[in-house]
Amino acid sequence: MLTRLAAAVAVLGLLTIAPGPDLAVVVRRAVAAGARDALRTVGGIVTGLLVWGALTAAGLAAVLAASPTAYLTVRLLGAGYLVFLGAQALWQHRRPAPATADQPGTAAGGAWRTGLLSNLLNPKIAVLYTGLLPALAPPGLPAVRGMALLVLVHVCLTLGWLGGCVLLLSRVRHILERPGVHRALGRTTGVVLIGFGVATAAV
């Protein structure tokens, strides 16, 4: 059982650190508004993972993964949201002056909501949870408990990885705040988000 669990942790770890929309969204928030805002985005992302875990346990994620129409709908919504975030980043950094941070009244909720929506609108999580996690579940545990354990492992890995990225970015904040660097990173993350959106729609 421990060997199977270690293998599952390794696989989930590789999937977690692979560059994807979650990392791009977190980097965008870190560049635009700082570490606290980015950490709220991470909180929204892991909340999305917990929601997907609950949907999987209820059998709804399997329905989504098996239904071409439902999968396509979520996929296109997710792609559109990523393109919107990317276009927003490009618009905010269109001028030589550094982009201003989000409005104080909406930064906290906006950051958390951004992370949540970017994760919930990612149908690949449904496929991951319904297709891969059952195969990785440790033997000897009831199916629901095994899935719950792996979802929690995935949440912890995601927190550690994205939180570590935010910490690293906060350490070089003085560099990121330089107008040229700030603008270049903002534009780069915008292009990356649009690229992920296009890729999501095309898959």
- Spatial distance between the Cα atoms of 153 and 170, rounded to a whole number of angstroms: 25
Report pLDDT digits (tens) over 142-201. 878 888 899 999 999 999 999 999 999 888 877 877 778 778 877 888 898 898 888 888
Tell me: pLDDT of 133 over 80: yes
> What residues contact 111, with CB distance under 8 A and at least 6 apart?
29, 33, 37, 38, 40, 41, 44, 102
Average pLDDT over residues 67-79: 85
Average pLDDT over residues 55-76: 83
pLDDT score, position 166 = 95
Positive or negative: CA dihedral 112, 196, 87, 182 = positive
Distance of alpha carbon 62 from alpha carbon 194, whole angstroms: 28
- pLDDT band for 203, please (50, 70, 90 cuts): low
pLDDT per position as a tens digit, 77-128 = 888 988 988 898 788 777 655 444 444 334 446 899 999 998 998 888 888 8
Distance in angstroms (rounded) separating the CA atoms of residues 32 and 19: 19
Q: How confident is the model at residue 14 (pLDDT cuts 50, 70, 90)?
A: very high
Q: pTM of the predicted model, to two decimals?
A: 0.81
Among 116, 151, 110, 111, smallest CA distance to 134 is for: 151
Between 3 and 14, the higher pLDDT residue: 14
The predicted pLDDT at position 17 comes to: 92
